[in-house]
Structure 1
C-alpha cells in the first residue's frame, strides 16, 4: 500500500495564500501540538508552530460524493510525507474511518467503516481485493476530516 499526502504544488500554493476549496484564504493559527495533523508531511504540526486551517476537497471533479471539509497544514514549507509505511498521523487515534472509491470517484457502498488502527492494512487490502476499490480515503473517526489517500502499490 502507498499512503498519499496532498501534492506539494497544491500545498505550496496554499502556504502562499492561494484560496482553499471554498474560495477563502487559509486561516493562520498556532498549533497546540495535539490533534493537528498536517496533510502534507503527515506529521502533527508541532506545538507553537504556525499552521493553516482551510477547506479541502480531495476529488478531481465536482459531483454528489465530492465531500469537502476542514484540514490543517504546516504554515511553513514541510517535506512531503507518504510512502509504504503507516504515517505518524495515523498512529495517534485508536481508529480511523476508511472509505473505498471506484475509478469514477464514487464511494463504494458498504466500504465505509471505523477501523482499529492495527487493522487498517488488512481492511484496506480487503477493499482493494474484494471490492475492486481504485483508492481509499482515510478520515478522522471522530470528526470525519480527510487525512490522506491510500493507493495500491
Structure 2
C-alpha cells in the first residue's frame, strides 16, 4: 500500500549505498544473499524485494549520515539499526508516493541539532501523510524518520524541499 503526500520519501542516498555494500555502519563487512522468499523492505528503492533478488541486511545510521551532511551533533540520539538494501546498484524509487504504509508506523521528528523533538504512532495507513504534514509544519523540525512499529526499524526519511532523484 502507498500514500500520496506533498512530501517525498527519501531512500538511502547512492553514495551511502555504495559504502554500505562494502562495510555497514557498525563496521561489519556486508554479506549479500539471494532472497528466496521476497517481501523485504528495501531502503534503496523503497519497495519490497522479489524472490531471487540479491540483497543484504546491513546496519545503517541514518541520523549520523544526515549529521555528517549538515554539521548537526545528534549525540546519544545517533542510532544504528538493520535495513535491507539491494546487493548491487538499483534504479531507486519508481515514484513519489509514500511506501510501506500498510501497517502501523511511527513518525519521529528531529531538530536541526539532530535531537528527537517528538514522535507519533500512526495506526491508520491513510493517516501517514497527515502525520508528516503536521510534523513538518513545525519550524523546529528539520527532518522526520518513518519507522516500523514492530521492530523500530528505520524505513525512510522525509525532509522539506526534497525531490525524488535529488540528494
- Report the TM range for the smaller structure's normalisation: 0.7 to 0.9
What does residue 55 of structure 2 align with? 51
Match for 1:148 among 156, 160, 166?
A: 156
Tell me: CA distance 1:117–1:132, structure 2 relative to 1, closer, same or farther (3 Å): farther
Instruction: Give 4+ residue runs of structure 1 displaced > 3 Å after superposition.
Output: none
1:101-120 maps to which residues of 2 (within 5 A)?
A: 101-109=110-118, 111-120=119-128
Structure 1 unmatched runs, 5+: none
Does residue 99 (structure 1) correspond to residue 108 (structure 2)? The answer is: yes
Structure 2 unmatched runs, 5+: 1-6, 68-72, 162-167
Tell me: CA distance 1:62–1:24, structure 2 relative to 1, closer, same or farther (3 Å): farther
Indicate conservation of the 8 Å contact 2:104/2:121, yes or no.
no
Does residue 13 (structure 1) correspond to residue 19 (structure 2)? The answer is: yes
Q: Deviations over 1:98-124 (max 9, x none)?
A: 101111111013x23244221011111
Aligned partners of 1:132 and 1:82: how far apart in 2? 31
What does residue 78 of structure 1 align with? 90
Match for 2:9 among 3, 16, 25?
A: 3
CA RMSD of superposed structures (Å): 1.9
